[in-house]
Structure 1
Amino acid sequence: MSRHCIAILGGSFDPVHSGHVALAHHFVDLLKPDELRILPAGNPWQKHGLEASGAQRVAMLERAFQQQDVPVLIDQRELQSTDPTFTIDTLRALRAELGPAVSLVFLMGADQLQHLDTWNGWRELFDFAHVCAAARPGFALDGPQVPDEVRQAFEHRAGTPAQIRTTPQGKTFLAPNLAVDISATEIRAALRQGKQPDTLVPHAVLDYIQQHHLYKS
């Protein structure tokens, strides 16, 4: 059954880095979605003091994702909100806009599974989208870092890429062995020290950071 599929990658992107690009590329290759939607957070309740402005983060995202195999849309709805932003509310709004048939796939790094149970309404995420995570080598769902209720939800809802591509929501998938381990915090620290983390940040993004003197002491 043919079904429109939209992969969604959310994050603070302060700055966007090569790990974000690799994660998105991995799932674009795996799921063959019709669209990749990038969702920069506006006022994420678990993070404080974003350094780059919303407009600057959008500009960096445009440069990072300018060459993709699928159409890319940078969805700025959370940037336009003055209230704390919650993923569950955004997914609920997207489902209402796009209808019940489209396959919505929310992408995350496996490190986010370690505190998924702290997200507002995390169990409801599956009512509106599939949830796919990419793990570095050696990561295991049954490891001590993943809360039992998150592990159980992920295992109970496990699906194949084909099932995720052809159903609207409710499945999970853990993609193993994505050997990318990059921290935006470490990148900002390196930039403050005058270092050039050119292996961690797409070149076009690093050029933008330098031109606009971002992440300086």
Structure 2
Amino acid sequence: MALPTPTPTPDKLKKIGIFGGTFDPPHLGHLQLAAHFAKALHLDELLLIPSGQPWQKGSDVTPAEIRLQLTEAAGIDLAKTFLYAKIPTLIGIERIEIDRPGPSYAIDTAKALRERFGDNASLCWLMGADSLMQLDTWNSWDQLLNYVNFAVASRPQHALSDEISPKIQQLLTKHQTSDPQALENNPFGLIYIDNSLSVDISSTELRAHLKSAPSSATAAKSIPSHTLERIMNLGLYK
């Protein structure tokens, strides 16, 4: 008697997290968001991508190569967090935006990473709710979901229901899912908003506090230890 032929199943998607930012400097809020989504989305790999030329940040930005160093240092602390929490996600520090000339546009990074990983990967762009609300100011923002999913962490001062624009609301109506597993099974095109994590640390405020002697010690508590050591060694934010 012949055994039935098994029905072929599609290959499991590789799950890649993309976490871009100015990282000027990286702080514990960044690490909390990264660790949260690495665990919640069962990411195989997480890419930290400091921007090369953050075109929306003005000219008062720490040079890209230094921010890359700070991000690499933060990656050491993040790896320790993953080890302690038994999160098997691999961490990569990418200089893809630093090496690309001109302004750092998310759409260019999304296209390049989709080309690198191919169709058999779920690319999940990690961001805070404040970034989602400003999404319609990004270059070619309405094309991003053709290449990636969005995983969005809430922030206390940014209630989406109160401040969201009609364009972003329309995007959510079309693409939002309440199931994080859906991002694991779809290579692109979905938005998942996670309300269980509230990160409220600002790099802008940290830089200001680091310049002030009375508040610098308090600010230092919000910066990963290896990043803080690199900041002190380089004499940054004074």
Report the TM-score when normalising by structure 2.
0.85
Q: Give the deviation of 1:89 after TM superposition.
A: 1.2
Amino acid of the structure 1 residue aligned with 2:231: I
Tell me the alpha carbon deviations over residues 111-135 of structure 1, each in whole angstroms, 9 at most, x when there is no partner.
1122111111111110000011100
Aligned to 2:197: 178
SS at match of 2:160: coil
Aligned to 1:157: 175
Aligned to 1:199: 221
Q: Give the deviation of 1:18 after TM superposition.
A: 0.8
Aligned to 2:106: 87
**C-alpha separation between the residues in 2 aligned to 1:55 and 1:136?**
29
SS at match of 1:26: helix
Aligned to 2:45: 35
Aligned to 1:53: 63
Identity of matched residues, %: 36
Q: Give the deviation of 1:177 after TM superposition.
A: 3.5
Residues 40 and 75 of structure 1 are in contact (CA less than 8 Å); yes or no, is this contact kept in structure 2?
yes
Which of structures 1 and 2 has the bigger CA Rg? 2
Amino acid of the structure 2 residue aligned with 1:79: I
Residues 138 and 177 of structure 1 are in contact (CA less than 8 Å); yes or no, is this contact kept in structure 2?
no
Aligned to 1:12: 22
Residues 96-135 of structure 1 mapped to structure 2, 5 A cutoff: 96-135=115-154
Aligned to 1:75: 94
User: Which stretch has the larger CA shift, 190-199 or 167-176?
Assistant: 190-199
Contiguous gaps of at least 5 residues in structure 1: none
Tell me the alpha carbon deviations over residues 39-73 of structure 1, each in whole angstroms, 9 at most, x when there is no partner.
11001221122543222212211221221331111
Residues 130 and 158 of structure 2 are in contact (CA less than 8 Å); yes or no, is this contact kept in structure 1?
no
**C-alpha separation between the residues in 2 aligned to 1:191 and 1:180?**
20
Alignment length (residue pairs): 215
Q: Give the deviation of 1:180 after TM superposition.
A: 1.7
Tell me the alpha carbon deviations over residues 69-117 of structure 1, each in whole angstroms, 9 at most, x when there is no partner.
3111111011112311110111011111211121000010001122111
**C-alpha separation between the residues in 2 aligned to 1:16 and 1:120?**
24
Q: 1:3 aligns with which of 2, 13, 17?
A: 13
The change in CA–CA distance for 1:84 and 1:140 in structure 2 (over 3 A counts) is same
Residues 38 and 73 of structure 1 are in contact (CA less than 8 Å); yes or no, is this contact kept in structure 2?
yes
Query: Quick check: which one's helix share is greater?
Result: 2
**C-alpha separation between the residues in 1 aligned to 2:235 and 2:157?**
37
**C-alpha separation between the residues in 1 aligned to 2:29 and 2:173?**
25
The change in CA–CA distance for 1:82 and 1:50 in structure 2 (over 3 A counts) is farther
SS at match of 2:47: strand
The change in CA–CA distance for 1:138 and 1:155 in structure 2 (over 3 A counts) is farther
SS at match of 1:78: helix
Stretches (4+) displaced over 4 A: none
